[in-house]
Structure formats: structure tokens, C-alpha cells
Amino acid sequence: MAKLSDLIPTLAQVLPMPEQTVAMYARHLREAKLISSGGRGPGAAQMTATDCARLLIAVMAADQVKNAASAIEAYWPLEMEDIQTKLGLPIDQREDWGDLPEAILDIMMPDGNEEQSFGEAVASLIDGVRLGTLTHAMAEMRDAFLRVEIERRFLTGKITFQNDTAGMGYPQIALLAQFELPEGPERERREQEDFSVGGDAMITFAVGYRTINALGALIRT
């Protein structure tokens, strides 16, 4: 299994981002005990899907390296507000949606449970590559596409699968999962905030299957 010294250059290469910068994110997470740590060399801790997901989310969500730990605290527990697939829609609304392999829905909703947090869902995708289930599911679909997205301004997460299994000539949405803050004062404040606050800039960071696949393949070895 991979060590942190393997995870850092792998993530840096696939994003891409300077390896030194990714190492700084990792150091802050390690100091906050949010990533596995142990000895050095052969005795160093082995990375898990959760470790990979935490480092990835920290890079995506923190506006500064020093905020890596607080970014995990904010984004990891985002609740699955909604998850849509073709089969969950009325028949007259299914035409523009693609088919989804059941294995992907099992990854996103283990045992049919919609309570997976954003962080847990990202870790499940990475683990799906490690186990081969996500890899095989993606291979079944024509022009398969995966997007994992964080929107910093509104503190939300989104996971989207698309494919052209129907042969339409363009990828159709097959799954859309949206993650929001839990009900409470912070969510109410953000929902009531005037859209113009902070200007027109939308700070979105998204990665695709290439990144998820690289992390899952790393911990599979």
C-alpha cells in the first residue's frame, strides 16, 4: 500500500500542482491528526481512501494552505441534500438522462443509504477504484464522465456522472448528487445572503475521473 510520500507526488502530478504545495497541505492535515501518520520509511502509515479524499478535498476547498484542516471540518460533513438518477424521475422527464450502472449507485448510496456525507462519498469513489467496482462501471459506459466539484463561495459540493450510453452523440447526466450544509444558523445565513455579496466571482474547484482513478490506483498497489 502507498505511503504519504507516494500520495503527495501522485496528487501533485494529476492536478497538476507543485509538489511542495501539496506537501504543505498534507503537513497541516497531519498536524491536525486528519491524515494517517506513523513512523518513517518502511514503518510509515499506509494511506487509505479516507486519507486520499481528505488531502484532495483540502486542496480543493482551502483558499490558503493554512486553512487545510478547517476546510476538511467544513466540507467533509456536508450532507447529501439530493441525489437524482433517471429511474427516480417521472417517465416523461427521463429522455435527457443517461443510464447508470447499479454499481455506481451502490458506491454513492451504500445499502441504499442516502446519508453519506460529501467526504465519505469522495472516499467511496476512490475506494471504488481500489476495489475495481468503479473502474468496471466506468468501462461499461460510452464516453463516461465524472466530475467532483466544490463551490467555495456557497460551501457546497456536487458529484456528477455523465455518459452517452444511449448514443445521443453527447454525454447525458446519469447521476447528480448535491451536498449542502446541515440545517442550522450557518445555512440560513448563507441562503439569506444577497447574491451580490462578494462580487460576481464564483470560486469553483472541480476534478474528474482521472484524479479519482489515480488516487484509487495508488492505494491498490
Helices (H), 32-90: 49-61, 68-75
State pTM to two decimals: 0.92
Residue 40 has pLDDT above 70, yes or no: no
Cell numbers 479516507 correspond to 50
Contact present, 47 and 36 (Cβ < 8 Å): yes
For the stretch 87-141, pLDDT in tens is 888 888 888 899 999 999 999 998 777 789 999 999 999 999 999 999 999 999 9
Residue 61 has pLDDT above 90, yes or no: yes
What is the predicted pLDDT for the residue at 38? 72
- 100: burial class by Cβ within 10 Å (0-12, 13-18, 19+)? buried
